[in-house]
A = this chain, B = another copy of it.
Amino acid sequence: MRYALKFAYDGTAFDGYARQPDHTTIEGAIIHTMKKEGIVKDIEGNFYPASRTDKGVSALGNVLVIETDVDERGIIPALNSDLKDIVFYGMAKVDEDFKPRYAYQRWYRYFMLNKGGYDADMLSRISDTFLGEHEFKHFSKTDKKMDKTKLAIDEISIHEENGFIIFDLKARRFLWQMIRRLVSTILSVYDGKLELEKIVSALEGNDEKLAIYPVPPEGLILMDIDHRLEYDYTKYPIDLFDKGIEKALTKAMVLSELNNGSEG
């Protein structure tokens, strides 16, 4: 039988997503456990990722598909008993030729500490420029052919919460580093470092010299991938990342204390 599995992970706990020898990667850890637990013995033809996130990027709702003949009730418990910083919590039976690369929609969220005093409404107005179908080759790190870099963004919404600017972006697919480069572009336009006219021209496919760097990956979460599947959800362990939150907040507090410096 073939199943889609939904899972979350702390991307900062790994050296990246895709399998690599001598690296602790998300895919590597999952495949190791799949084999160890006898869920998928031979990966070839029985294991399909939906989205390989960049190094440092986290996910709440990434998806992968497996072909297996073990009892479906044992799959999620077996995976979760062995994995650290990754949790599986949803499963859907799928057709035997289903592959998860193609999706109806992907939803990403980016968190940025608002120390620059950005106005979310103003950022939002700038971001409207990117809505709909455009040529995005200038806004990604890609070597794909031109026809693959044309795509449509369905939604961009930006709001402020708890001192963070939160960017939500939805599209069928995104190019490599595209979200982090779009966020960076929106900020650069706001800061007056990039002209909106040049952005519009680049989106029309014209060659423009734009210096666009991606914002750091640690603030990015793949929130969900919509394959129009009906998932069975298991209880999500809402305190799973408590220890990490505690550590991060303590680190922020300690560094703030160091920042206060000393007058002797």
A residues with CB within 8 A of B = 6, 8-10, 12, 58, 60-61, 89-90, 109, 111-113, 115, 162, 164, 216, 218-219, 221, 224, 231, 233, 236-242, 244-264
Q: For A12, give the chain B residue with the smallest CB separation.
A: B251
Given contacts A164-B253, A262-B60, contact A218 B238 (CB under 8 A): no
CA distance A58 to B221 in the complex (A): 30
A103 to chain B, nearest CB (A): 16
Find out whether the CB atom of A254 lies under 8 angstroms from the CB atom of B111: yes
Find out whether the CB atom of B233 lies under 8 angstroms from the CB atom of A113: no
CA distance A257 to B238 in the complex (A): 10
Find out whether the CB atom of A255 lies under 8 angstroms from the CB atom of B264: no
Given contacts A254-B221, A264-B90, contact A259 B242 (CB under 8 A): yes
Find out whether the CB atom of B218 lies under 8 angstroms from the CB atom of A111: no
Counting chain B CB atoms within 10 Å of each CB, the highest count among A224, A238, A245, A258 belongs to A258
Partner of A248, one of B216, B236, B251: B251
CA distance A257 to B58 in the complex (A): 10
Tell me which residues across on chain B come within 8 A of A247, comparing CB atoms.
216, 218
Find out whether the CB atom of A251 lies under 8 angstroms from the CB atom of B244: yes
Find out whether the CB atom of A258 lies under 8 angstroms from the CB atom of B241: yes
Tell me which residues across on chain B come within 8 A of A109, comparing CB atoms.
257
Q: For A230, give the chain B residue with the smallest CB separation.
A: B264
Find out whether the CB atom of B249 lies under 8 angstroms from the CB atom of A262: no
Find out whether the CB atom of B221 lies under 8 angstroms from the CB atom of A257: yes
Tell me which residues across on chain B come within 8 A of A263, comparing CB atoms.
233
Q: For A231, give the chain B residue with the smallest CB separation.
A: B264
A-B contact pairs, 24 of them (CB 8 A): A6-B262, A8-B258, A8-B262, A10-B258, A58-B258, A60-B257, A89-B261, A90-B262, A111-B257, A112-B250, A113-B249, A113-B250, A115-B242, A164-B250, A164-B253, A216-B250, A218-B247, A218-B250, A219-B253, A236-B261, A238-B260, A241-B255, A248-B248, A248-B251
